[in-house]
Structure 1
Amino acid sequence: MTDAVAIIPARGNSKRLPRKNILEFRGKPIIAYTIEAALQSDIFERVVVSTEDAEIAGIAAHHGAEVAQRSAELSHDSATVVDVCCDWLSREQQAGHHYQIICCLYATAPLRNATDVAATCGLLERGRCHYALAAAHYSHYPYQALRLERDGTVAPQWPELCDMRADQVGELIAGNGSTYATFSDELLRSRNFYGPGMRAHIMPFRRSVDIDTADDLELALCLAELEARRSADRDPR
């Protein structure tokens, strides 16, 4: 792929699951799996980890990524991933470096593989598809959501939709929080990884866990162990 770059945002001060980007996952830091997937996809000129954290920077470099030191302004809770990516692109352009495609890979999706990364980026096509993401099917349809009230009661979030059958709504998917891609000029213009004509690479649930809580981590470990056993069973040796 021509002029493509992968950006892996990785703050050190994650709140819900402290140090989640570098927690051990089957013998390696979680972020290592995303770096490896990006490198093994063989579509990026550069694989860059954006962080303000020295330990994360050291781990990222050890596993083959470049490190971009994140500014203090982009290290607080209100800074978004789009802010980080646009800041990096702008700085690179000022230095005379231009990239056609930018792919944002979340460090906390260790089950996503190189094929998923390449397939998502491969959906981009000038004039037809300017935005692409990895997605998965809903485990529960969103229109069945219940709103938890302060008094402990619950109420349908969308009362007019909660009784609809699945076949009335059609096939619904959602971004799985792992992989987003667009053209660099589109991101700088729209400041969004979502836009018209977006396409999705649909991944199975077993590779779609985005680790944000301890329960997510436990689930991802179970799925990884199951996949390892399946692979061992398929190996004739």
Structure 2
Amino acid sequence: MSVYAFIFARGNSKGLPGKNIKPLGGKPLLAHSISIAQQTQGIDKVFVSTDSADIAAVAEAYQATVIMRPAELATDTSPEWLAWRHAITTLQAQGDDFSVFVSLPATSPLRSTGDVEHCIASLDEQTDVVITVTPASRSPYFNMVVRDEEGASQLVCSGANVNRRQDAPVVYDMTTVAYVARPKFIMSNDRIFSGRVRSVVVPRERAVDIDDIYDFKLAELFLESKDNPYV
């Protein structure tokens, strides 16, 4: 079974310009995902899909293979699913078929090799996609609301007999720690939840997803913390 890891990194980041190559803990953000992929048992090759020459140069410096992505697949509105398909078809056109697709977004630098290995091992015959989740700080059954333009508000999930947070069903936030699927599923479906999805729980300290400078500072804090299990 051949397992390929992919890091999808656009050059045109709006929330935090240049974030994918912004230094974090002494190396570019992108390099954290590349390094974890290279250290994870079972991963055979590591690729970076990007539209940016600067990102491509960093990827090559860290011994990842670059797949240059068309500009139309690297906009704010481009579904990353299409970038996944582009990477798969690019390799297949080169005669390089593989068994398992692993996406390790650059925005999740605190994952561990164990997190990734757990996800790969969870892709069994009854599962189409493996995602990662972390315990949510708020619950749609208790303290999450929707509101209209006039401010009228109601619970996202109403009707449940929930009077305390402890009474609410346990809910999780999806994270960007890892996604695992078979190439055939990605090429024949349009989204993750088109298939049978299984999740792996990752602790919150390893599930930071960097979108803006506040997330970046939080990741720096965890990296600098002496008791952080990632260090």
TM-score, length basis structure 1? 0.87
Write out aligned runs for 1:1-237 (5 A).
2-126=1-125, 128-143=126-141, 144-147=143-146, 149-150=148-149, 153=151, 155-158=153-156, 160=158, 164=162, 165-226=164-225, 229-230=226-227
Counterpart-to-counterpart distance in 1, 2:157 and 2:122: 36
Q: Secondary structure at the match of 1:13?
A: coil
| Per-residue CA distance 1:191-237 (angstroms, 9 max, x = gap) | 323344322111111101000011111111112222xx1279xxxxx
Structure 1 gaps of 5+ residues are 233-237
Structure 2 gaps of 5+ residues are none
Contact 2:139 2:168 in 1 (8 A): no
Instruction: Please identify, of 60-69 and 136-145, the stretch whose mean Cα deviation from structure 2 is larger.
Output: 136-145
Counterpart-to-counterpart distance in 2, 1:62 and 1:155: 51
Counterpart-to-counterpart distance in 2, 1:26 and 1:109: 13
Query: Cα offset for 1:167?
Result: 4.5
Q: Secondary structure at the match of 1:139?
A: coil
Query: Cα offset for 1:36?
Result: 0.5
Counterpart-to-counterpart distance in 1, 2:199 and 2:2: 21
Counterpart-to-counterpart distance in 1, 2:208 and 2:159: 27
Structure 1 residues 231, 159: closer, same or farther in 2, change over 3 A?
closer
Structure 1 residues 169, 7: closer, same or farther in 2, change over 3 A?
same
Contact 1:182 1:193 in 2 (8 A): no
Contact 2:222 2:228 in 1 (8 A): no
Query: Cα offset for 1:131?
Result: 1.2
Contact 2:24 2:220 in 1 (8 A): yes
Counterpart-to-counterpart distance in 2, 1:200 and 1:89: 23
Query: Cα offset for 1:150?
Result: 4.6
Query: Cα offset for 1:79?
Result: 1.4
